[in-house]
Chain A
Amino acid sequence: MTRLWQFRGGIKLDGNKSLSSEQPIAKANLPQFLILPLLQHIGVPAEPVVKVGDKVLKGQIIAHCQANDCYLKMSVPLHASSSGTVVAIEPHSVPHPSGLTALCIVIETDGRDEWIECSPIIDYTTLSPMTLRQQVAMAGIVGLGGAGFPSHLKLKSAGIDTLIINGAECEPYITCDDRLMREYPDDIVMGAQIFRHILGGTQHCVIAVEDNKPAAYSALLQAAQGRVTVVKVPTLYPTGGEKQLIHVLTGKEIGKAQLPADFGMVVHNIETTRAVYRAVKEGRPLISRVVTVTGNGIEQPQNLEVLLGTPIQVIIDQCGRKSDIKQLIMGGPMMGFTLPHDQLPVIKTTNCLIASSTQAIESPKPTMPCIRCGACAQVCPVNLLPQQLYWYTKAKDFKTAKNYHLFDCIECGCCAYVCPSYLPLVDYYRYAKAEIRANEQERQKANLARNRHEFRTFRLDRDKAEKLARHQAAAAASQPDKQVIIEAALERVKAKKVPNHSEEKPIQEESVH
Chain B
Amino acid sequence: MPFKLSTAPYLHQANSVAEMMRQVLYALIPGIAMYVWFFGWGIVIHILLTSMTALSCEATLLWLRDRPLRPFLTDNSALVTAWLLGSALPPFAPWWLSVLGTAFALIFAKHLYGGLGYNPFNPAIVGYAMLLISFPSEMMKWPHLASLSGHYPSIVESMSIIFTGQPLGGITLDALSSATPLNTMKTQLNKFHTVTEIKQNPIFSYYGAKGWEWIGSTFFLGGVWLIYKRVITWHIPVAVVGSLFLIASLFFTIDSDRYPSPFFHLFGGGSVMIGAFFIATDPVSAATSNTGKLIYGIGIGILIYIIRTWGGYPDGVAFSVLLMNIAAPLIDYYTQPRVFGH
Report A's interface with B, CB cutoff 8 A: 7-8, 11, 13, 97, 172, 243, 247, 253-256, 258, 325-329, 331, 333-342, 354, 356, 361-362, 364-366, 368-374, 377-378, 381-385, 387-388, 404-405, 408, 411, 413, 416-422, 424, 426-427, 430
Contacts and interface: CB of A to CB of B under 8 A. Distances in A.
B11 A338 contact: no
A408 B337 CA distance: 13
Contacts of B290: 377
Contacts, number: 152
Contacts of B115: 369
A253 B9 contact: no
B334 interface: no
Nearest to A257: B341
B103 to A, nearest CB: 22
23 contacts: A97-B7, A172-B11, A326-B3, A327-B10, A329-B10, A331-B8, A333-B10, A368-B75, A368-B117, A371-B17, A371-B117, A372-B117, A374-B233, A377-B289, A381-B340, A388-B332, A404-B336, A413-B11, A419-B12, A420-B19, A420-B20, A421-B117, A430-B7
A243 B3 CA distance: 33
Contacts of A382: 339-341
Contact of B20 (A8, A364, A373, A377): A373
Considering residues B8, B16, B115, which has the most beta carbons from chain A within 10 angstroms of its beta carbon? B8
B8 A255 contact: no
A325 B3 contact: yes
B165 to A, nearest CB: 39
B180 interface: no
A417 B13 contact: yes
Name B's interface SS: loop
Nearest to A258: B341
B200 to A, nearest CB: 46
Interface of B: 1-13, 15-17, 19-20, 71-72, 75, 77, 115-118, 233, 283-284, 286, 288-290, 332, 336-342
Given A253-B341, A256-B341, A405-B342, A340 B13 contact: no
Contacts of B10: 327, 329, 333-334, 336, 354, 356
Contacts of B286: 372
B9 A377 contact: no
A312 to B, nearest CB: 11
A254 B339 CA distance: 11
Contact of A385 (B13, B288, B341): B288
B8 to A, nearest CB: 5
B4 A326 contact: yes
Given A253-B340, A255-B342, A416 B9 contact: yes
Contact of B283 (A255, A334, A338, A371): A371
Contacts of A405: 339, 342
Contacts of A408: 339-342
A373 B3 CA distance: 34
Given A372-B283, A427-B7, A421 B339 contact: no
A328 B5 CA distance: 8
A378 B233 contact: yes
Contacts of A371: 17, 77, 116-117, 283-284
Contact of B289 (A97, A336, A374): A374
A408 B336 CA distance: 14
A256 to B, nearest CB: 6
Contacts of B4: 326-327, 338, 361
Contact of B12 (A256, A341, A383, A422): A422
Contacts of A8: 340
Cβ-closest 10 pairs across A and B: A255-B341, A413-B9, A369-B117, A373-B283, A333-B10, A382-B340, A374-B288, A253-B341, A334-B9, A405-B339
A364 B5 CA distance: 12
A29 to B, nearest CB: 21
Contact of A421 (B2, B17, B342): B17
A496 B339 CA distance: 97
Contacts of B19: 420
A372 B116 CA distance: 10
Given A336-B10, A385-B337, 6 more contacts: A7-B340, A258-B341, A329-B8, A335-B8, A340-B2, A427-B7
Contact of B15 (A361, A369, A388, A420): A420
Given A339-B3, A420-B19, A385 B9 contact: no
A422 B20 CA distance: 13
B339 A368 contact: no
A338 B20 contact: no
